[in-house]
Amino acid sequence: DSGVTQTPKHLITATGQRVTLRCSPRSGDLSVYWYQQSLDQGLQFLIQYYNGEERAKGNILERFSAQQFPDLHSELNLSSLELGDSALYFCASSTDISYEQYFGPGTRLTVT
Amino acid sequence: TQLLEQSPQFLSIQEGENLTVYCNSSSVFSSLQWYRQEPGEGPVLLVTVVTGGEVKKLKRLTFQFGDARKDSSLHITAAQPGDTGLYLCAGSPIMEYGNKLVFGAGTILRVKS
């Protein structure tokens, strides 16, 4: 158990809908990262938050947004969903000074 | 774009054999991490290397970071069926703000008993 929690475990929704994925980092970790894993693209970095502020951005679609709250949990919002958004979405956390990122169990999103 | 090329993609070996997985790039990384991932689960961190030329051992696993911090290898001695899984290398690109990780495509290892 990495100490990073993610909910829900599975999510099935229709095209055009909007969903919210939630992540709680390890106790004491200030940085939260979101990654997408698909069969054809592998694990891709989406976005990083540090202590409530956006720190780094990857190839995150404009339809996707994230935020980190004062209690340090984070949410990833996916809107106008397309079939191609079906993937595993992982959250990871780290202390600011450590390179080591610890991953949560993931949310499997299926868009039908 | 920083790319990490991982090889081989698939490896099927007998119990007791040795193997090496390679991770190469033309880019320099501040650190390089190796993860193992089971189907439907999150990647589990095995090791982090940060110094060029660094070698770390974790029981039967040996990890090496290249002198120029552009490549890394994972060597498993006397592989066991419990080593079966997906192995991923991931690097933190130097000179980039934040600590994002760039992942290799992964090596699927199957150890047969």
Per DSSP bridges, beta strands B107-112 and B10-14 are parallel
- Comparing A98 with B4, which gets the higher pLDDT? B4
pLDDT for res B1: 54
pLDDT for res B3: 84
Token readout for A1 is 């158990």
What is the least distance, in Å, from the CA of B71 to any CA of chain A?
Answer: 17
In percent, how much of chain B has pLDDT > 70? Answer: 98
* Average pLDDT across chain B, whole number: 94
Question: Are the CB atoms for A68 and A29 separated by under 8 Å?
Answer: no
Neighbouring C-beta atoms of residue B60, cutoff 10 Å:
13
CB atoms B98 and A4 under 8 Å: no
Q: Give me the total of CB pairs closer than 8 Å, taking one residue from chain A and one from chain B.
A: 66
Mean pLDDT on A94-105: 88
pLDDT for res B2: 59
pLDDT for B99 beyond 90: no
By 3-state DSSP, what share of chain B in percent is helix, strand and coil, each rounded to 5? 5, 55, 45
Quick: pLDDT tens for B41-77: 999 999 999 999 999 999 999 999 999 999 999 999 9
CB atoms B48 and A4 under 8 Å: no
A-chain residues within 8 Å CB-CB of B106? 42
- DSSP code string of B9-53: SEEEEETT--EEEEEE-SS-EEEEEEEEE-TTS--EEEEEE-STT
Quick: pLDDT tens for A15-67: 999 999 999 999 999 999 999 999 888 899 999 999 999 999 998 999 999 99
What whole-number distance in Å separates Cα of residue B98 and Cα of residue A93? 12
Distances (CA, A) of B1 to A7, A31, A96, B4, B59: 31, 23, 24, 10, 34
Sign of CA dihedral A65, A88, B23, B76: positive
CB atoms B33 and A100 under 8 Å: yes
A42 three-class SS:
strand
Token readout for B28 is 């320099």
Quick: pLDDT tens for A77-86: 999 999 999 9
Token readout for A66 is 């994230």
What whole-number distance in Å separates Cα of residue B86 and Cα of residue B17? 17
A-chain residues within 8 Å CB-CB of B44? 2, 103
